[in-house]
Amino acid sequence: MPETPTIPDRLVIAIGGNAIHPEGIRGTSQEQVELAAATGKSLLPLLELDTELIITHGNGPVVGKMLLRQAIARQRVAPMSLDICVAHSQGGIAYLLMQALENALRAAGNPRHVVCLLTQVEVDGEDPAFTTPTKPIGHFYTESEARSLTEELGWPMQEDSGRGWRHVVASPQPRHVVDISLIDAVAKRGAVVIAGGGGGIPVIRDPDGQRHGVDAVVDKDRTSALLANVLGVKDLMILTAVPRVAINFGKPDQIFLDKVTISEIRRLHQQGHFPPGSMGPKIDAAIEFINGGGRRVMIGDLRDAVSVLNGEAGTHIVAD
């Protein structure tokens, strides 16, 4: 395992959508409240550190359900564009997390505040991702269900790492986190900041400075890497639903990775070990973050957050 690192002064934590909305739940309000409370319990030791904290989160399962609801009710209720769906999911998830984290802090007698900043992220309107959707969102479906959804709703569907078929949407590269200076200022004041939820609300900016939403979902790990790089944060923690990164995932010769250099992880990525629908974007984000000046990327299970930070669990990716 990696040597126990020094606790960082500043940290960006990216929580995966499947970690806070796992498979096998209906997604009721009560389930979401309970999952948020569990997240607060897992993160409490980190929240109590004297560390500037910025938390991002995924939204794939939630925004996928929003699209499905709209599809079912489309004859009676006008559907929302995907950027507005991202905004709704960003606000709803952040509300639950903000409340749960503060409740955990208050139960421990800690007065630290948690705030949510609704976040837009600029993308390039000419990004090739708009012509090749790759970002999986929403439920897992059987192949026959996926075929029916494509025929009925025109949804592009893609097999996701042997777990089923999912709706895929455009996922352009994040170029700029809007109002990032405000995120920085609030974090420096001592509050835990929840920002960039769902990768941020995707917008493009016209030459005259006007912004407009676009139908896309930005990958939250890549937005987290960009945000951390711009702010000069050296440590990025990606919390998901698996204990470590693995090669030959799901096969008899599966091997978990503990500590790995950026050149090693890049080589393994090129060999195809990290599928685009699951671990691939996290590895892409890790590479981008360290290439952009980051020191360490930690990937591990949300429930093991403290052990991951202490170097006792998870996969730690470092510069050569």
Residues tagged active-site: 17-18, 135, 220, 282
Measured distance CA(157)–CA(154) in Å, rounded: 9
Measured distance CA(23)–CA(185) in Å, rounded: 36
Residue 310 token pair? 């202490």
> Per-residue DSSP letters for the chain?
-PPPPPPPSEEEEEE-HHHHS-TT----HHHHHHHHHHHHHHHHHHHTSSSEEEEEE--HHHHHHHHHHHHHTTTTSPPPPHHHHHHHHHHHHHHHHHHHHHHHHHHTT----EEEE--EEE--TT-GGGTS--EEEEEEE-HHHHHHHHHHH---EEE-TTS-EEEEE--PPP-EETTHHHHHHHHHTT-EEEESGGG-EEEEE-TTS-EEE-S----HHHHHHHHHHHHT--EEEEEESSSS-EESTTSTT-EE-SEEEHHHHHHHHHTT-S-TTTTHHHHHHHHHHHHTT--EEEEEEGGGHHHHHTTSSSEEEE--
Measured distance CA(128)–CA(57) in Å, rounded: 25
Measured distance CA(122)–CA(6) in Å, rounded: 34
- Give the pairing of strands 120-122 and 201-205: parallel
In whole angstroms, how large is the CA radius of gyration of the chain? 19
Query: Which of 24, 88, 98 has its CA nearest to residue 59?
Result: 88
